Amino acid sequence: MLNNIYIQVSKNKSRTMLKFIRKYWKTHLFVSAVVVYTIVKKNLLERKKHLDNRCIYHKNVKKNKKIHQILSTCKSVLIPDYVPTVFACNKWINTLCFLIRLRVIEFFYKCNIRRQTIDCIVDNGQVAIDWYEDSRTKNLKKNAPILIFLHTISGTSATTAYFLKDAAERGYRACVFTRRGHFGATPLKSPRFNFMGDKEDIVLCCNEVKRLYKDAWIGMIGISAGSGLLMSYLGQEYKDTPVSAACSLCPAYALFPGLKNLRDQYAFADKYVLKSVKQMYLYGKSNSEMLKQYDNTTYNKCKNAKSLYEFAKVAYPFAGCKTLDEYNKVHNPMEHFSNINIPVLVLNSDDDMCCVKDNIREDLVENLPNFVLVRTKYGGHISFSEGYFAENSFMVRLTLDWMDACFEHDNGVSIVFNNNEIHEGQRI
């Protein structure tokens, strides 16, 4: 009798299992296919990572001994190992993952930012140094190394919080130089702005940082449009800058050719960025009234611009320039590239929809001894999502590895050791 009961129970379980399989077999098949695809694709990306990612630099050791020494201690730059998240191989999805991560971190960490405003005496404008402060940074020594971030074309310190947080975790005192018009609800203080940023404002902020922390080692990181400002600043202030190392992330190289390529190849991205720039500077009652009163003709030209390229060609009076040629000579990064005399890491991806691959100048990096270019097949625009769920950024990891290596080369101690913490296995 017990055997009969056991047989009957087994039959009932089998029938239930068959019903379940018949009902959900399509779901099971789909999930299995996704798992298999993910494993296969991940394996292929891992195998090809040294073909998809390249490190380019001047190979003559005599001319760039310092770069070779830094690279010898920074394997993630010398042998780039970027493997994108499987579902983020597409540039648009990669960038979307980055934007989601950016907004989440901004929501939770923007409260850690303390603003220090600085008045520009020449024209009564205002810029700011936004310091990232948490339990780690409050305990840093006075001479702890500093990382300065130059934000994107329409960015703020809050949208740079993802970088600030990771820099603080590495032992840096981190800050953002916030440009005119990027203060959120606070309007412009004077009828002057430059969507690419103003070199004189960076000089002003650097002087203040050096006044506060005169013995600190300083690195500077330009993100997207901020990388153009970085090059303009370093190229013009190469004799006086306190910056010891730099990173240029997703630069467009030449200003106007870069904007023209953006307009011609990715009209959607161009219009999206143009809209954010107009929103940042032109709209809002205070800004519009001030700019119209200063130069109504230029204001209307900027307002009616159909592309970022067109906007850049007509906005120069608001940047304090009399002609477009004058603006190009001062603010085009390519005019100052060759003067830079500190180690600079440049990062570009071939699928960048804003700073397109046609802009990339490998020849410059191969001929200038202070530059290193990491060029990847994937990455989107300032995205470089990695990890199973796109939870991390190769761009952030690579940048901080580079800064660690430059700091250690200049100081002979590791970043962690400099801040009174010795970890097992740490280089000293």
Question: Per the structure block, which two tokens stand in for 302?
Answer: 């900027």
What does CATH list as the number for 54-418? 3.40.50.1820
Cβ atoms within 10 A of the Cβ of 301, count?
A: 16
Q: At what angle do helices 324-331 and 255-265 cross, to 10 degrees?
A: 100
- Are the beta carbons of 355 and 228 closer than 8 angstroms? no
Residues 6+ apart with CB under 8 A from 307: 259, 263, 267, 270, 271, 274
pLDDT number for residue 77: 96
Domain ranges of the chain: 54-418
pLDDT number for residue 183: 85
Burial class (CB in 10 A: 0-12, 13-18, 19+), 279: exposed
pLDDT number for residue 2: 44
Q: For residues 227 and 106, what is the distance between their CA atoms, to the nearest angstrom?
A: 21
What DSSP letter does each residue of 30-79 carry, written as one string? HHHHHHHHHHHHHHHHHHHHHHHEEEEE---TTT-HHHHHHHHT-HHHHS
Residues 6+ apart with CB under 8 A from 215: 142, 143
The values of phi and psi at residue 127, to 5°, are: -125, 180
What DSSP letter does each residue of 390-424 carry, written as one string? S-EEHHHHHHHHHHHHHHHHHHSS-HHHHTT---T
Q: For residues 417 and 428, what is the distance between their CA atoms, to the nearest angstrom?
A: 7
- In this structure, the strands spanning 392-393 and 385-386 are antiparallel
pLDDT number for residue 164: 96
Q: In what order do the strands lie in the sheet with 371-376?
A: 53-57, 371-376, 344-349, 245-249, 218-223, 146-150, 173-178, 125-132, 113-120
pLDDT (tens place) for every residue of the chain, 428 residues total: 545 554 554 656 566 666 656 666 566 556 566 565 556 555 566 656 666 889 999 887 777 889 999 999 999 999 999 999 988 889 999 999 999 999 999 999 988 999 999 998 888 889 999 999 998 998 999 999 999 999 999 999 999 999 999 999 999 999 999 999 898 767 889 999 999 999 999 999 999 999 999 999 999 999 999 999 999 999 999 999 999 999 999 998 999 999 999 999 999 999 999 999 999 999 877 889 999 999 999 999 999 999 999 999 999 999 999 999 999 999 999 988 889 999 999 999 999 999 999 999 998 888 888 999 999 999 999 999 998 889 999 999 999 999 999 999 998 655 556 665 434 333 33
Distances (CA, A) of 312 to 19, 202, 298, 301: 65, 20, 11, 10
Distances (CA, A) of 366 to 10, 233, 329: 72, 22, 24
- Strand, coil or helix: what is 349? strand
Q: What is the pLDDT of residues 201-221, one digit of tens each?
A: 999 999 999 999 999 999 999
Q: What is the pLDDT of residues 303-328, one digit of tens each?
A: 999 999 999 999 999 999 999 999 99
The values of phi and psi at residue 248, to 5°, are: -115, 110
Q: For residues 407 and 415, what is the distance between their CA atoms, to the nearest angstrom?
A: 7
pLDDT number for residue 187: 83
- Are the beta carbons of 71 and 395 closer than 8 angstroms? no
pLDDT number for residue 248: 97
Q: For residues 226 and 49, what is the distance between their CA atoms, to the nearest angstrom?
A: 28
